[in-house]
């Protein structure tokens, strides 16, 4: 009975001691929280400063990202400090010994706790007196006196100083910010184009007009492109080069002539190249360009109808056409028959019928080219190549849109100014033409008309300039103002002033076309037409008078360079050409045909490895825009 009573007393004493120790423990951890919280913040700020400095040394993070990371580090440091304080393990006996030292209890609490747990064996009377004394001393402890909240001044000052340093690093412009922004824009553009390539692949697979082999060939190019674009640390020139190369591979996948047909066309080209007028057609056929060959034949037919070929040239064409017709029989029977008919007509001296036969051959080649271009494989490959070329341009322009927009706006403004100048100059030209008309009846009327046309030209230049300004402003907003501004600037300089200038020259003197600028001069009051710029008063063009102006090597007084020395008399022709049939040197090639030929030459040049892959997309896009 006595043992049970002692045990119950020991448990009551133990619970009382543990309640005191728990209360002291909470107070101690609160005071340690106020002490360690600034230290955790200091650690987080130091991490933020280190990240900010690293972001200034190399392109890594933007300022907003550094600020977010620094804030997260400070919060994490403070949280870890608080968690460390409250989760630090401490047994009741160890806490009792700690508080005995802190409160000066001379081990009363720890000894009583050991007696209550019977870790120390002692007489009952001694244990009762010891525990009673420990409880009395524990109840008299003033926690605010022994465990006050502590804020160390130097640590708070360190928090403030380091926080100010971090703020300065965040507020001062980061020299790597522009590079990081460009890299971010590039990565975003590449990911966008990867998704676009995936869409192109899905479209090809869903195309019912393509065979499985054709789908496999096209999607294989796209799959390899996606793998290359997904590589880490891909630079902008590399991405542009990969897209341009894929576009070229797609372009090469178009329906083409077979090896047998190419061999036959090469023989046809060699046969035609033996005659000087047919050399252009022969070269085009040797290159496998049926469209260019058709245009060459069309132009040759026009020259033949206009009587611009000599008898020797016509005779040289007969045999070449006959040989070409035989070699072309397997590739294009209709064109071969037309060439044979043209050769027969030339033998009979019927130039009109020969020209018509050449036009029929041209149409036959054009039809064959159209059939190749309209095949499902050609259309699918061409569409994919165009989309890849656009993707290449977008990746090349990634991170540069704002600057280009400003350049576009400036180009638009320059276009507007050019148009206004053209309007003013055109109006002045009109006034001068009107005055010239008052002085001379017939010539003056023509000069007045020329002046009015110059004014209209100036107004057209002004309208083009205004359109250029609007296009430049739109380009500045959309980020693609560079192209719009350039178009606006070009538009401001286009007008019909060239034709107006020619008409003015025939009547009154000279007329110059350009950016809305037309200058006309009327007939002097004496009735004699002023010969200005080679124009006569009767409206005809005068002969140019060549003036001998010797050129010296090394400046004045050196050796004279005389191009006519040793070349015969001055009446001898230095260089002969087809100008004998076209004395006025008129251009009879349509602008669309000139652009188309240029595009054909570009395609051949791009197949050469000397053209950098990163530039092929830009070059192809430029000439594609010209065709529009």
Q: Read off the pLDDT of residues 84-137 as tens digits, 9 standing for 90 and up.
A: 999 999 999 999 999 999 999 999 989 988 888 778 877 877 888 888 899 999
Judge whether residue 365 has pLDDT over 50: yes
Please give the DSSP secondary-structure letter assigned to residue 579. G
Give, for 115, the enclosing helix (H) or strand (E).
Answer: helix 108-116
Q: How confident is the model at residue 257 (pLDDT cuts 50, 70, 90)?
A: confident
Does 300 fall in a domain? no
Cα dist from 432 to 47, 439, 510, 520, whole Å: 78, 11, 12, 7
Token code pair at residue 232:
């880490």
Does 273 fall in a domain? no
Number of structural domains in the chain: 2
User: How many whole angstroms separate alpha carbon 66 and alpha carbon 167?
Assistant: 11
Does 228 fall in a domain? no
Does 580 fall in a domain? no
Does 157 fall in a domain? yes
What's the mean per-residue pLDDT of the chain? 73
Judge whether residue 367 has pLDDT over 60: yes
- Using the 3D structure, point to which of 475, 492, 523 is the last residue of a domain: 523
pLDDT: is 567 or 197 the higher one? 197
- Using the 3D structure, point to which of 523, 558, 573 is the last residue of a domain: 523
Does 415 fall in a domain? yes
HSE-up of residue 5 (Cα within 13 Å, Cβ side) = 4
DSSP 263-314: HHHHHHHHHHTTSGGGHHHHHHHHTT-HHHHHHHHHHHHHHHHTT-S-HHHH
Tens digit of each residue's pLDDT (9 = 90 or more) over 502-534: 333 333 333 333 334 333 333 334 333 333 334
Does 132 fall in a domain? yes
Please tell me the predicted confidence (pLDDT) of residue 547. 47
Average pLDDT over residues 47-61: 92
- Using the 3D structure, point to which of 171, 195, 215 is the last residue of a domain: 171
Q: Tokens 């209709």 belong to which residue?
A: 334
Do you know the residue count of the chain? 628
User: How many whole angstroms separate alpha carbon 225 and alpha carbon 240?
Assistant: 11
User: How many whole angstroms separate alpha carbon 262 and alpha carbon 268?
Assistant: 10
Token code pair at residue 123:
């007489």
Please tell me the predicted confidence (pLDDT) of residue 578. 52
Does 519 fall in a domain? yes
Residues 6+ apart with CB under 8 A from 522: 432, 433, 435, 436, 437, 439, 440, 443, 444, 447, 508, 509
Query: Residue 413, Cα to own-chain centre: how many angstroms?
Result: 23
Domain that holds residue 158: 2-171
Judge whether residue 33 has pLDDT over 50: yes
pTM above 0.75, yes or no: no
Calculate helix-pair angle for 401-439, 481-492, nearest 10 degrees. Answer: 10
Q: How confident is the model at residue 612 (pLDDT cuts 50, 70, 90)?
A: low
The least confident of 269-278, 366-375, 544-553, 582-591 is 544-553
Tens digit of each residue's pLDDT (9 = 90 or more) over 137-147: 999 999 999 99
Token code pair at residue 267:
């023989």
């Amino acid at each position: 009975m006595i043992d049970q009573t002692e045990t119950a007393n020991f448990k009551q004493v133990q619970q009382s001691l543990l309640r005191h120790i728990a209360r002291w423990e909470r107070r101690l951890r609160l005071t340690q929280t106020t002490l360690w919280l600034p230290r955790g913040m200091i650690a987080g700020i130091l991490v933020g400063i280190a990240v900010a400095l690293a972001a200034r040394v190399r392109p890594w993070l933007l300022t907003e990202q550094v600020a977010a990371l620094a804030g997260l580090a400070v919060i994490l440091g403070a949280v870890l400090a608080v968690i460390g304080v409250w989760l630090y393990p401490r047994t009741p006996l160890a806490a009792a010994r700690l508080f005995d030292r802190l409160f000066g209890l001379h081990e009363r609490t720890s000894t009583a706790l050991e007696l209550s747990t019977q870790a120390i064996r002692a007489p009952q009377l001694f244990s009762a007196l010891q525990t009673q004394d420990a409880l009395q001393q524990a109840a008299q402890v003033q926690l605010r006196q022994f465990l006050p909240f502590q804020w160390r001044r130097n640590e708070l000052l360190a928090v403030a100083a380091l926080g100010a340093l971090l703020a300065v690093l965040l507020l001062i412009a980061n020299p790597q910010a522009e590079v990081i922004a460009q890299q971010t824009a590039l990565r975003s553009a590449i990911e966008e184009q990867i998704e676009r390539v995936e869409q192109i692949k899905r479209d090809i697979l869903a195309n019912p007009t393509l065979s499985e082999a054709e789908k496999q060939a096209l999607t294989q190019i796209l799959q390899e492109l996606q793998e290359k674009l997904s590589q880490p640390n891909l630079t902008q020139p590399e991405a542009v080069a990969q897209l341009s190369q894929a576009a070229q591979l797609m372009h090469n996948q178009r329906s083409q002539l077979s090896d047998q047909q190419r061999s036959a066309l090469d023989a046809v080209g060699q046969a035609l190249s033996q005659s000087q007028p047919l050399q252009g057609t022969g070269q085009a056929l040797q290159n496998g360009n049926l469209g260019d060959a058709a245009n060459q034949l069309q132009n040759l037919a026009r020259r033949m109808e206009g009587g611009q070929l000599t008898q020797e040239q016509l005779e040289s064409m007969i045999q070449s056409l006959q040989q070409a017709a035989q070699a072309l029989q397997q590739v294009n029977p209709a064109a071969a028959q037309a060439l044979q008919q043209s050769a027969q007509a030339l033998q009979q001296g019927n130039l009109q019928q020969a020209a018509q036969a050449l036009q029929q051959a041209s149409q036959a080649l054009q039809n064959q080219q159209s059939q190749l271009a309209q095949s499902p494989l050609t259309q699918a490959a061409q569409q994919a190549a165009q989309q890849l070329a656009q993707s290449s341009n977008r990746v090349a322009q990634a991170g540069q849109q704002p600057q280009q927009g400003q350049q576009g706006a400036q180009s638009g403004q320059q276009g507007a100014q050019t148009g206004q100048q053209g309007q003013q100059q055109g109006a002045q030209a009109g006034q001068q033409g009107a005055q010239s008309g008052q002085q001379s009846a017939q010539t003056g009327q023509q000069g007045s008309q020329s002046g009015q046309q110059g004014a209209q030209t100036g107004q057209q230049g002004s309208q083009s300039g205004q359109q250029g300004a609007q296009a430049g402003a739109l380009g500045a907003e959309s980020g693609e103002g560079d192209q719009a501004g350039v178009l606006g600037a070009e538009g401001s300089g286009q007008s019909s002033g060239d034709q107006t200038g020619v008409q003015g020259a025939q009547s009154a003197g000279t007329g110059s076309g350009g950016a809305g600028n037309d200058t006309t001069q009327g007939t002097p009051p004496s009735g004699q037409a002023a010969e200005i710029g080679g124009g006569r008063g009767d409206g005809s063009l005068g002969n140019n008078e060549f003036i001998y102006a010797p050129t010296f090597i090394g400046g004045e007084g050196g050796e004279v360079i005389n191009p006519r020395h040793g070349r015969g008399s001055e009446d001898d022709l230095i260089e002969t050409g087809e100008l004998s049939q076209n004395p006025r040197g008129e251009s009879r090639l349509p602008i669309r045909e000139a652009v188309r030929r240029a595009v054909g030459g570009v395609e051949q040049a791009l197949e050469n490895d000397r053209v950098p892959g990163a530039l092929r997309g830009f070059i192809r896009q430029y000439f594609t825009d010209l065709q529009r």
